[in-house]
Amino acid sequence: MANHKSAKKRTRQALKRKLINSQILSQLKTNINKFTELIKAKNKEEIDKSFNLVNSSLAKATKKGLIKKQYMSRKLSSLSKKTKNI
């Protein structure tokens, strides 16, 4: 356990960041899953809205350093390819 005041503060900050980061990743996964469900349903208008949500959540996670830029690019590319096939 932390004995110094600064180490205790660092522990508190790490716990807060962990909570926020897990929420962001969870939201990202939820948006991707909703998007794939809409692709199966083939609802074009809803797919476009959902794609924008996925794009913004991927960008947010990348900006926070939770996912790598290459993963974001690869994911967006594969999802946009799926939208064009509908």
pLDDT at 85: 85
Q: Is 54 left (phi over 0), alpha (psi -120 to 50) or beta?
A: alpha
Dig out the tokens for 47 from the structure.
Answer: 């797919």
Angle (deg, nearest 10), helices 69-84 and 44-64: 170
Q: Give the Cβ contact number of residue 62 at 10 Å.
A: 17
Domain boundaries defined on the chain: 43-86
pLDDT at 55: 96
pLDDT at 64: 95
pLDDT at 24: 96
Instruction: List, for residues 12-62, the tens digit of each pLDDT value.
Output: 999 999 999 999 999 999 999 999 999 999 888 899 999 999 999 999 999
Query: H/E element holding 46?
Result: helix 44-64
- Give this prediction's pTM: 0.85
pLDDT at 54: 97
